[in-house]
Structure 1
Amino acid sequence: MAEQEPYLRTRIGGEFVDLPGSIGSIRASLPEDRRAAFDAAIDEAPLMEVPLIAARWGLPQEAIDEDEALIEQLKRGDFSGFAEMDESAGSPQ
Structure 2
Amino acid sequence: MAKTFTIHTVGGPVEVPGTIGGIRQVLPEEQRAEFTSEVENAGLDELREVLARWAARLPSEHDDAEDACVRLLKDAEDQVAAMGFDTGTPEGLAAARAEFDRLTRTGKGTAAA
Could you tell me how far apart the structure 2 residues matched to 1:11 and 1:51 are?
Answer: 16
Q: TM-score, normalised by structure 2?
A: 0.51
- Which of 8, 27, 31 matches 1:11? 8
Confirm whether residue 22 of structure 1 aligns to residue 19 of structure 2: yes
Structure 1 runs (4+) deviating above 4 angstroms are 76-81
Q: Contact 1:8 / 1:19 at 8 angstroms: preserved in 2?
A: yes
Aligned residues: 74
- Which of 32, 36, 39 matches 1:39? 36
Give the 5 Å matches for 1:42-61.
42-59=39-56, 60=58
* Superposed CA RMSD: 3.0
Richer in helix (by share): 2
* CA-CA distance at 1:48 after TM superposition: 1.0
**SS class of match (2:8):** strand
From the CA coordinates, give the structure whose radius of gyration is larger.
2
* CA-CA distance at 1:55 after TM superposition: 1.6
- Once the two structures are aligned, what percentage of the paired residues are identical? 30
Runs (5+) with no aligned partner, structure 1: 82-93
Q: Deviations over 1:59-84 (max 9, x none)?
A: 2353xx66xx4x977xx974859xxx
Q: TM-score, normalised by structure 1?
A: 0.61
Runs (5+) with no aligned partner, structure 2: 82-95, 105-113
